[in-house]
Amino acid sequence: MSTIPESAPETAAAEITEPQQPTTEATAAEAEETSGSGRSKTDQLVREGEIAADFLEGLLDIADLSGDLEVDIEGSRAAIAIVDSEDGPAPRRLVGPGGQVLDALQELTRLAVQAETGERSRLMLDVAGYRSDRRSALVRTARSVIEEVRASGERRELEPMTAFERKVIHDEVLAAGLVSESEGVEPSRYVVILPSA
């Protein structure tokens, strides 16, 4: 049986602090973050996380799978992770080959949130640390290929990747001051790293 730590949503909300006396810039930023419904972006993300956690808890219960849920906010997205619990390890079969099952489960969770809120969700789902481990491996790969491109002055094509994986590569290339592009058609879309002009 899976459980959601009672403090998870409060923890996510508590990490974001409001200034005591907002400046003009803060007031403008808050106005920008507030939707037509009067809810702040942070409130919306916390709500997305709660809805997603409820959906995933029900799914884990129906499938009789172990795992606890951690809910957080990372940047401008709700982030939900299925992690090991006292009842057993997180169900790694929910990752699947190359993360395909995880991607499908993430999309189903996004649809469950959209059905409840009426708005498209960009939440990120991780199971058993797969995405964080994959991100670390991709950063290492990107850095290695960036050095190759700098040394050779020639473009380099990487293997086909998911949208999540391509974004990690693009971010690393941008941080290194080079240019990258995505080419191809799903599911065989890949990143090309170009030498600086």
Please classify residue 137 by burial: count the beta carbons closer than 10 Å to its beta carbon, then call 0-12 exposed, 13-18 middle and 19+ buried: exposed
Q: Are 148 and 155 in contact (CB under 8 A)?
A: no
Architecture of domain 7-128: 2-Layer Sandwich (3.30)
DSSP label at 158? E
- Digit-by-digit pLDDT tens for the chain (197 residues) are 333 333 333 333 323 223 333 333 333 344 444 444 557 999 999 999 999 999 999 999 999 999 999 999 998 999 999 999 998 899 999 999 989 999 999 999 999 999 999 999 999 999 999 999 999 999 999 999 999 999 999 999 999 999 889 999 999 999 999 999 999 999 899 999 999 86
Strand partners, 157: 192
Domain with CATH 3.30.1370.50 in the chain: 133-194
Task: Write out the CATH class of domain 133-194.
Answer: alpha beta
What three-state secondary structure class fits 178?
coil
Angle, CA 76 vertex, CA 90 and CA 186 arms, to 5°: 70
Query: What's the distance, CA 2 to chain centroid?
Result: 21
Domain with CATH 3.30.300.20 in the chain: 7-128
* Phi, psi torsion values for 183, nearest 5 degrees: -130, 165
Annotate 84-121 with b (16+ C-beta within 10 A) or e (fewer): ebeeeebbeebbeeebebbbebbeebbebbeebeeeeb
